[in-house]
A and B are shown apart, each in its own frame.
Chain A
């Protein structure tokens, strides 16, 4: 085999043991794959698939509780699983580097960015201070950070998430390692920033011939960046092959299920009706936060400005936007979890924006909300049954009547009615989200708000919950307000879409209209940034 084609990374039969008492024996079991120079290999899988464990094992950064039990990891032919700690330190950042998911916390907050990169050079090279500085400025320039001199002297908190991830990339690549491990490096970033970072990684590795091991759960990102894909499930490698083959002609049933769970970015034809009565209408709704603490400069943040929306019965309106766009603020104002500062909210004919807490209480029933985090949405100390019947009992229903309703609703959300006496921690994330939906439905609401309700779920679970939501909307003829940052999800579930940016609604129309022919520049940029937008997932070639 010619020297140039030798893989930079070869993982053979790797197993990592979980501590005793875990729900399975191995975090990773007999996994083998290679990464060639200049190649991007994606490890893709749902939570608990062991993909991050593999990455940390290679770097030698595993938590002490996890132990590699068999196999080899060859970095340019050297078995680093057998290497001692000092050899691993030599290799880190010189031959192999890693970037992490959370750019906000991955940098030391009390050190300037320049010095943090300088540490790498001071540890691994004999360059003098001036040479190091020159090299750092050069790499900052290469990762396309503006004004490298200023960035050099900046502290992490002075930079945006995307900029911090660029610093991490600069740090990782400053010594031209042969292998870059990227552990969900764009998951915490907004979609437009994500697109830029993905582009940057691809450019840099192509230029230097770096092998990249890219860990992700997002098939959009896979389609965008990967040369080859390895699919993992419960620590085992299910299927591996070139990206195009895996995405279009997967062989394993799990891979097929996973890929077909990815929502399409083209809106489904849902047949928009315009005949239902209006359930909710907002008029110039606004929320301004002003820091009025004593003796401090008043800081005014306009989280939402002049938002006009309306939703009719049986319709789903989606609000999409990046973080900080104000989409959740609008939802929380409508649910009156926070008080709007401007404008009106009409629930049917009732104006509730300025209603006092006491007068509002009877109207609370009419709007219900499902939150993002399934692990914090229910009181861990009371049974799910008690959680579900709490609302109806607040409105005068007898306990056994409410319980009967709860049992019926558990069936509606496809859970066992006999599990009502269990506690939330005995359910998985997806199941809890169903219970939250049941709790909301128990109030027989007119409007159901889903605030990023499927964002924390794995893609296959997400698909089930989305289907359930849509089915319930049809059956109960509900109005649904669906808040999401995920364009694919919005395309599949919404009849109408409002795109928000910096507190304003920049585009508002039917899903087909907004997705098919966006007019606003921001909307266009947003759609252009969606990873894997050119790929139609789940349309498998029948081979």
Chain B
């Protein structure tokens, strides 16, 4: 088992290397002097010269990469000239809302979507199945910010049940936090529910056609409970996979949702950084999100072994 985990860990090194090289090259591909770009529009020539020596911009590109990556590995992500802070500080401030949003969304999505998908598969071809599938296609088709504004319009403006925008730290007021988390999480959960419900339905349907389900019927097991017991565990791996891959969409959706609801999270930070061309921050955020995405999928990979004894470690 440990051996398996170590092998998986080693396997993500090339992936992360490609990500790092890409993020590094990003800045070099911009037109103009990278030092000037990093320093931002209001920098003095002294500041630019300072950055140039710090990043070794006069060195060959390989050396620059080594300097850059070793800084990153030591936790030194550079300085945001726009926000006048180190990038690490900036990110630390912004983590909480994003993390809270992601967790709430995942919880809502999984608890709603998996039963929906299972029911749709079990009642394959019925009205319920069509409704679930219809909802799922719709969920894919409406952009997250349109959903967001619809919800705000109905629940915050018309009904006035919930606040329109803003964020309160969980430590300050739990109810305030919860109140302001409900709409964003539901907004972001819609597309995720669509994705997971669809995948759950598809994989349960496929499992229901397997020979061992026929065997289970030949044993005289009753349709409902027992068959679902056989089916669900076998369908678990593809469902988990799609949850893992969906994290990418979740991150992208978080950027938009935070903008709609004015949550001061990492997504909002990304947009602010892009608008102010604050490259050290953009680079770090992309790197961070990619690492999170890869690590979550690694964990999911490892968790397969709990569901399927055939997956060898």
Contacts and interface: CB of A to CB of B under 8 A. Distances in A.
Contacts of A214: none
Nearest to A154: B309
B233 interface: yes
B221 A107 contact: no
A93 B234 CA distance: 23
Contacts of A91: 220
B302 to A, nearest CB: 15
B303 to A, nearest CB: 14
A171 interface: yes
B230 A168 contact: no
A127 interface: no
A53 to B, nearest CB: 14
B140 interface: no
A407 B190 CA distance: 62
Contacts of A85: 223
B85 interface: no
B210 interface: yes
A97 B219 CA distance: 7
Nearest to B307: A110
B220 A94 contact: yes
A204 interface: no
Contact of B211 (A90, A100, A110, A157): A100
A22 interface: no
Contacts of A89: 220-222
A105 B220 contact: no
A157 B215 contact: no
A124 B220 contact: yes
Interface string A484-499: 0000000000000000
A89 B308 CA distance: 28
Contacts of B210: 105
A124 B222 CA distance: 11
Interface of B: 7, 10-11, 210-212, 214-223, 226, 230, 233-234, 307-310
Contacts of A109: 212, 234, 308-310
A443 interface: no
A61 B214 contact: yes
Given A111-B230, A295-B7, A92 B309 contact: no
Contacts of B10: 295
Nearest to A296: B7
Interface in A288-302: 294-296
Interface in A81-111: 85-86, 88-94, 97-98, 100, 102, 105-111
Contacts of B214: 61, 100, 106
Given A94-B220, A294-B11, A295-B10, A155 B212 contact: no
Given A100-B214, A120-B219, A108 B230 contact: yes
A123 B221 contact: yes
A108 B221 contact: no
B231 to A, nearest CB: 9
A520 interface: no
Contacts of A86: 222
B215 A168 contact: yes
Contacts of B219: 92-93, 119-120, 123, 171
A119 B226 contact: yes
Contacts of B211: 100, 102, 105-106
16 contacts: A92-B220, A93-B218, A93-B220, A94-B220, A97-B218, A106-B215, A107-B212, A108-B212, A108-B215, A109-B309, A110-B233, A111-B230, A119-B226, A157-B309, A171-B219, A295-B7
A200 interface: no
A85 to B, nearest CB: 8
A168 B234 CA distance: 19
A119 B221 contact: yes
A131 B288 CA distance: 56
B185 to A, nearest CB: 32
A85 B224 CA distance: 13
A51 B308 CA distance: 35
A168 B226 CA distance: 18
A171 B218 CA distance: 10
Interface in A319-343: none
Contacts of B7: 295-296
Nearest to B8: A295
- 5 nearest CB pairs, A to B: A92-B220, A105-B211, A108-B212, A89-B220, A155-B309
Contacts of B310: 109-110, 155, 157
A457 interface: no
Nearest to B312: A157
B212 to A, nearest CB: 4
B215 A100 contact: yes
Contacts of B308: 109-110
B163 to A, nearest CB: 46
B182 to A, nearest CB: 37
A108 B309 contact: no
A202 interface: no
A59 interface: yes
A111 B220 CA distance: 17
A61 B216 CA distance: 11
A155 B214 CA distance: 18
Contacts of A124: 220
Contacts of B221: 89, 119, 123
A488 to B, nearest CB: 29
A263 B54 CA distance: 84
A376 B174 CA distance: 63
Nearest to A108: B212
A59 to B, nearest CB: 6
Contacts of B217: 61, 92
A106 B210 CA distance: 8
Contacts of A90: 220
A93 B226 CA distance: 15
Nearest to A107: B212
Contacts of A295: 7, 10-11
A63 to B, nearest CB: 10
A171 B215 CA distance: 10
A296 B3 CA distance: 10
A155 B305 CA distance: 13
Nearest to B212: A108
Given A100-B211, A119-B226, A295-B11, A108 B218 contact: no
Q: Max chain B CB contacts within 10 Å: which of A107, A168, A295?
A: A295
Contact of A120 (B11, B220, B307, B309): B220
Nearest to A89: B220
Contacts of B218: 59, 61, 92-93, 97-98
Given A92-B219, A100-B211, A109-B310, 13 more contacts: A85-B223, A86-B222, A92-B217, A92-B218, A100-B215, A105-B211, A105-B212, A108-B212, A108-B234, A119-B219, A120-B219, A123-B226, A296-B7
A93 B11 CA distance: 47
Contacts of B11: 294-295
Interface string A65-94: 000000000000000000001101111111
Contact of B216 (A108, A110, A157): A108
